[in-house]
Amino acid sequence: MTAIWGIVNATPDSFSDGGRYLDADHAIAHARLLRAQGASVLDIGGESTRPGAERVGVAEEQRRVLPVIAALAAEGVPVSIDTLNAETAVAAVQAGARIVNDVSGGLADPDMLAAVASTGADIALGHWRGPSADMYARAEYTRVGRDVAAELRSRIAAAAAAGIAPSRLIVDPGIGFAKTATQNWDLLRELGDVVALGPRVLVGTSRKRFLAETLGGEADEARRDLATAVTSALAARAGAWAVRVHDVAATRDALAVVQAWDG
C-alpha cells in the first residue's frame, strides 16, 4: 500500500507569540498527531520552498528543525529532513533523520549528494530547474512526463556517481516546481514515465496552487485537502510508493478506499 509522508513545518508559528520552545513543541505535537493518523514518515522542513518564498540561513534552519527531529527520532518515528542544504542534511541525520528530502535533486547545493552518501541515509531527489523565485520562467517542456523523467535520470546518475546505492534512492516529479497548472496535470497523467525509472516514487500535490486553480472560486484549505486526497489516491493507482500531504487523515481514508476497490 502507498505510504503517507506527513508534512511538519518547523517554521515560526505566526499565531503563537510563545517563542522558539513553543514553536518546536507545536511541531512535535503536530507530528505525533500525523503519526497517529497514519503517516509512516514525518517530513520536517525549516525553510519554505514555495514560489516566492524567502531563503533563511542554514543556522536558523537548523535551529528550527534539529530539536524537532531529535525528539521524534528518540520516539522511534521515521523522519525525513526537507532541505536544500548539505550541512543541514548531515546535521539532521546525526539528530536521527533517516531520509533526506531535497526538492532540488542535489542541484541547489553542490555538496549535497556527497554529503548524503557519507551518512548512509536514503534520499528523495525532486525534479527542479532552479530557485523558487523565478522558476516559472523555466516551465518549458516538449512532453512533460518524458522530459521530467529524463532530467531525473541524470540526477539518479549523479547520485550513483557520488556513491549513493540505488536502493537508497527515491524520485519525485516535483509537482509545482517550474511547472504550470496544465503541466502539473500532464505530468500526473504521465507519472508512468517517472515510475518506469525504477526507484521508489514520491508525489507531493498537497494544497498546491494548481489544485486551487482547478477548483476555482475560494479554494480554501478544506477544499484543497479534499482535492489532495483525490490526487493522492490517483497517484497511488499510478504507481506512487508514497504521497506527501498535510492532511494525513483524509489521504489515509482515500488510500483505504483505493485498496478496497482494488481488492
Query: Considering Cα of 214, then 4, then 222, then 22, what sign does the dihedral take?
Result: negative
* Bridge partners, residue 99, by sequence: 80, 122
Cβ 99 to ligand PMM shortest distance, Å: 10
User: Reduced to 3 states, what is the DSSP secondary structure of residue 9?
Assistant: strand
Cβ 206 to ligand PMM shortest distance, Å: 6
Task: Based on the shown chain and the rule CB under 6 A, indicate whether residue 7 belongs to the binding site for ligand PMM.
Answer: yes
Cβ 261 to ligand PMM shortest distance, Å: 25
Residue of the chain from 204, 234, 240, 248 that contacts ligand PMM (CB under 6 A): 204
Say if CB 114 and CB 125 are below 8 A apart.
Answer: no
User: Which residue sits closest to ligand PMM, CB atoms considered?
Assistant: 204
Task: Based on the shown chain and the rule CB under 6 A, indicate whether residue 124 belongs to the binding site for ligand PMM.
Answer: yes
Nearest to 63 by CA among 99, 35, 87: 87
* Bridge partners, residue 102, by sequence: 125
208: Cα separation from own chain's centroid: 12
- Contact code string over 13-52 relative to ligand PMM, x by CB under 6 A: -----------------------------------xxx--
Which residues carry out catalysis?
208, 244
- Contact code string over 87-106 relative to ligand PMM, x by CB under 6 A: --------------x-x---
173: Cα separation from own chain's centroid: 10
Residue of the chain from 46, 67, 96, 126 that contacts ligand PMM (CB under 6 A): 126
Report H helices in the chain: 19-37, 58-74, 86-95, 112-119, 144-161, 181-189, 191-195, 209-215, 221-237, 248-262
Nearest to 90 by CA among 60, 58, 64, 126: 58
- Which of 58-66, 83-91, 190-198, 200-208 is the region at the interface with ligand PMM (rule: CB under 6 A)? 200-208
- Which of 12-20, 22-30, 34-42, 171-179 is the region at the interface with ligand PMM (rule: CB under 6 A)? 171-179
Residues forming contacts to ligand PMM in the complex (CB under 6 A) are 7, 48-50, 82, 101, 103, 124, 126, 172, 174-175, 202, 204, 206-207, 244
